[in-house]
Chain A
């Protein structure tokens, strides 16, 4: 077990290093001179360009620049925002609680609703309830976040006036973003849990369990669901990426602070340290969460750790 965890952790290191190289190179890979990107659309004299290049440290050899960047990033120093003059880390930490709150809420919503619907559909396999549930899930998968967000606002804020449309703070401002963001993931999960449940229900040990007279509820929960959930856990981890991506849109529409919007707005204001820092942070977070998923896997499914 320890060996398995250690192995997974070691595997993560090159991934994070790779991410840091990519985020670092981002600035150099976009077409055009990074100095022009910083200076924006203003005409720029040669001296001024050289001055900015020096200010940003872009006149040093690339390797040296990367080394400097990576060395600082390891200890959590992501540089200073060009406009705000504050450490990028502070800007991220400031909006992080809002992102964590929304992501966790959406993930919980997705898990609860997705798994329940999936199990329900599997149990009522072939009936109209199964068809209806899966149609609903299909709708959820196909509906883009920006569309469902606007529909929710239209209904709950503008028509019924039950919930405030914008801002952050209080449960009433969390409900709609959570629904909008969690809807797609819950639909993905529902479909997955249904099919994996159906598969498990055909297994011999389920037949055995039923044969020895176990209550149907126990058969479903202890024998079937526990095994059917294994792929769901992986997908839930992967869905985190989708949630973070969708969060940018949800945050923009509902005027919520968040890491995703921080990055997108930083692109708009050409604040490169801020863009790099946020991307590095989010990507690393994503890798770490999936590491946790992998480890939790070993607990859920002993077969994995013995492989």
Chain B
């Protein structure tokens, strides 16, 4: 999410050109056929088929695994490509926030695990491309207020109860129920009004105002849970052992160490997007929590794990050269690392010339090299490249040109003083940037500081403890703020530039009614061409007025052992889907 969040906590979701009518792809027809061939439900009470493959070492402190065993033994008739099975170990870079309840957690690391257990209505493999999840087709009203989902039939939760419209309603309703103490899901569901159960397999979700980002937000914190299991277990127990419809079933959670999932032998409702049908290829999926980057990357080399996220930048080159490993680079959608310039500041930056000079003076390439080992990309607009509506024509509007910056400042009357800092009418050219005291933030701020110093601007960087920094922003005592927001939809611009968010993430304190209107129209419109045009106007305006100085587009870096195949990194470049994954040989 935004800049204050630690890296394991980014927000989610993407959306893009969404279709009024999508879904029902080729695959879902094939799937229907598949379902028809599926064996009828077997009697309950059969113990969950224990996967073969390497037996998991018993771990003493196992978390409770109270959910009822999967209903039936491995289906015989189902096709499914025969593969080796086995266990894949995935190294998470951050711990969970003590819950695996998708609607309660605030952390992406929790969702990386729960997406295997609690499936979404739709999946988004690439930004703006949606494929059926638990919904086989969907429709969005032209004002983006009413979403109708046709649900798949014959789907069962891990506790054996059927998945239906009630379950969707239950899941969505609990997001807005204060008793849930919802985390990210509360933001993701947006201006949610209610869910109407049209029939057993159809739901209609109503928004109070247009909210096209709902589609992209489904895939993650809004995964569907089993109402029966939740009511039976209660929130605390459910958070330790979630129950959904996914291809993997929760097995154990050893806090701070690992989470073990086993395949759901009954699973035969996979999305048409996936390459196979039937149960997952892997027998087991283990998520290991390894916060230290060099250790995490090292365990990939030793084979202790097969997949890592957030590759240690210092190991990046070596992994890339070694054919035993595959490095996966994927740019993220949303708004990258940007500077927001406080429009209400009474300091020198209220002068457009000063802001323009700053935009020319910042050396983005140098910053990318010195802070990110060159592994990210320089940014040109407040939207990152893969985001729907990214306007490439605005690239290099202000490319690095210190000479031009100096010239603009000279022209505006800011003359170089004795200490190499410019001044005008006795006022020094000082720009104040409070930051949260973290290594990366400091390194970025210092790089900018050096660039601006070269043109005679005294860029004061004040590292503060998180809460103190936020207090500074709240009291409007700053000129510049960092911001970073991973998000699947250009609606992220509303979060950053709409006047109603001045007390939140609109740290530029930008309040322009026309821009508000553009942003409001864009989130309530479903015509992609219209949205592109609206977001183009917003990007152009905030760049030309230098409300923001974009710095860096972030790229996610995952790595795996070369014998892992069939994994897919989602639209947000954040969640790895492992249903198709298999270990060669």
Contact = CB atoms under 8 A, between A and B. Distances in A.
Contacts of A42: 186-187, 504
Contacts of A258: 256
Interface in A263-282: 265-266, 268-269, 271, 274
Nearest to B5: A41
A231 interface: no
A165 B255 CA distance: 17
A64 to B, nearest CB: 23
A167 B258 contact: yes
B105 interface: yes
B107 interface: yes
A66 to B, nearest CB: 21
B366 interface: no
Given A161-B302, A166-B295, A269-B97, A40 B106 contact: yes
Contacts of A55: 178, 181
Interface string B95-109: 101110000111100
Interface string A136-170: 00000000000000100110011001001111110
A262 to B, nearest CB: 7
Which one of B235, B294, B298 has the greatest number of beta carbons of chain A within 10 Å? B298
A264 B105 CA distance: 17
Contacts of A268: 6, 97
Contacts of A40: 106
Given A31-B471, A41-B1, A166-B304, A81 B98 contact: yes
Which one of A32, A40, A83, A265 has the greatest number of beta carbons of chain B within 10 Å? A83
B228 interface: no
B346 interface: no
B288 A84 contact: no
B98 A274 contact: yes
Given A251-B256, A256-B257, A31 B467 contact: yes
Contacts of A83: 97-99, 104-106, 183, 239
A85 B295 contact: no
A95 B256 contact: yes
A157 B465 contact: no
A91 interface: yes
Contact of B61 (A91, A97, A253, A274): A97
Contacts of A255: 256-257, 288-292, 295
A30 interface: yes
A95 B236 CA distance: 17
Given A43-B505, A150-B294, A150-B295, A168 B257 contact: yes
B194 interface: no
Contacts of A157: 298-299, 302, 304
A271 B6 contact: no
A63 to B, nearest CB: 24
B503 interface: yes
A253 B296 CA distance: 9
A37 B295 CA distance: 31
Interface in B384-426: none
A82 B467 CA distance: 19
A44 to B, nearest CB: 8
Contacts of B474: 32
A167 B286 CA distance: 12
B84 interface: no
A265 B95 contact: yes
A253 B254 contact: no
A31 B466 CA distance: 9
A94 B5 CA distance: 28
Nearest to A157: B302
A87 B251 CA distance: 22
A164 B256 contact: no
B4 A41 contact: yes
Interface in A25-39: 30-32, 36-37
Contacts of B467: 30-32, 36-37
A36 B299 contact: no
Contacts of A161: 302
A194 interface: no
Contacts of B187: 42
Which one of B6, B256, B299, B302 has the greatest number of beta carbons of chain A within 10 Å? B256
Given A41-B2, A42-B504, A274-B98, A165 B104 contact: no
Interface in A105-147: none
B468 interface: yes
B470 interface: yes
A166 B299 contact: yes
A126 to B, nearest CB: 42
A95 B61 CA distance: 9
A167 to B, nearest CB: 6
B76 interface: no
A84 B98 contact: yes
Interface string A55-92: 10000000000000000000000000111111000010
A53 to B, nearest CB: 13
Nearest to A42: B187
B54 interface: no
A280 to B, nearest CB: 18
B470 A32 contact: yes
Contact of B106 (A36, A97, A166, A269): A269
A261 interface: yes
A158 B302 contact: yes
Interface string B242-261: 00000000000011111000
Contacts of A253: 291-292, 295
A195 interface: no
B197 to A, nearest CB: 28
Nearest to B254: A257
B276 interface: no
Given A41-B5, A94-B61, A97-B61, A158 B298 contact: yes
Contacts of A94: 61, 255
A36 B136 CA distance: 40
Contacts of B468: 31-32
Contacts of B181: 55, 82
Contacts of A166: 288, 290, 295, 299, 304
B301 interface: yes
Interface in B41-69: 57, 59-61
B555 to A, nearest CB: 23
B221 to A, nearest CB: 13
Contact of A43 (B291, B294, B501): B501
Interface in A157-212: 157-158, 161, 164-169
A84 B301 contact: no
Which one of A255, A265, A266, A271 has the greatest number of beta carbons of chain B within 10 Å? A255
B98 A271 contact: yes
A40 B183 CA distance: 10
Which one of B1, B178, B288, B295 has the greatest number of beta carbons of chain A within 10 Å? B295
B178 A153 contact: no
A284 interface: no
Contacts of A271: 97-98
30 contacts: A31-B468, A32-B468, A36-B467, A37-B467, A40-B106, A41-B505, A43-B505, A83-B239, A84-B98, A94-B61, A94-B255, A95-B255, A98-B61, A150-B295, A153-B295, A157-B302, A165-B295, A168-B257, A251-B256, A253-B291, A254-B295, A257-B61, A257-B254, A257-B256, A265-B98, A265-B256, A266-B98, A268-B97, A269-B97, A271-B97
Given A255-B295, A269-B98, 17 more contacts: A31-B467, A31-B468, A32-B470, A32-B471, A36-B467, A41-B5, A83-B105, A84-B236, A84-B239, A98-B61, A157-B298, A164-B304, A168-B254, A256-B256, A257-B61, A257-B254, A261-B95
Closest 4 CB pairs of A and B: A43-B504, A269-B97, A257-B256, A84-B98
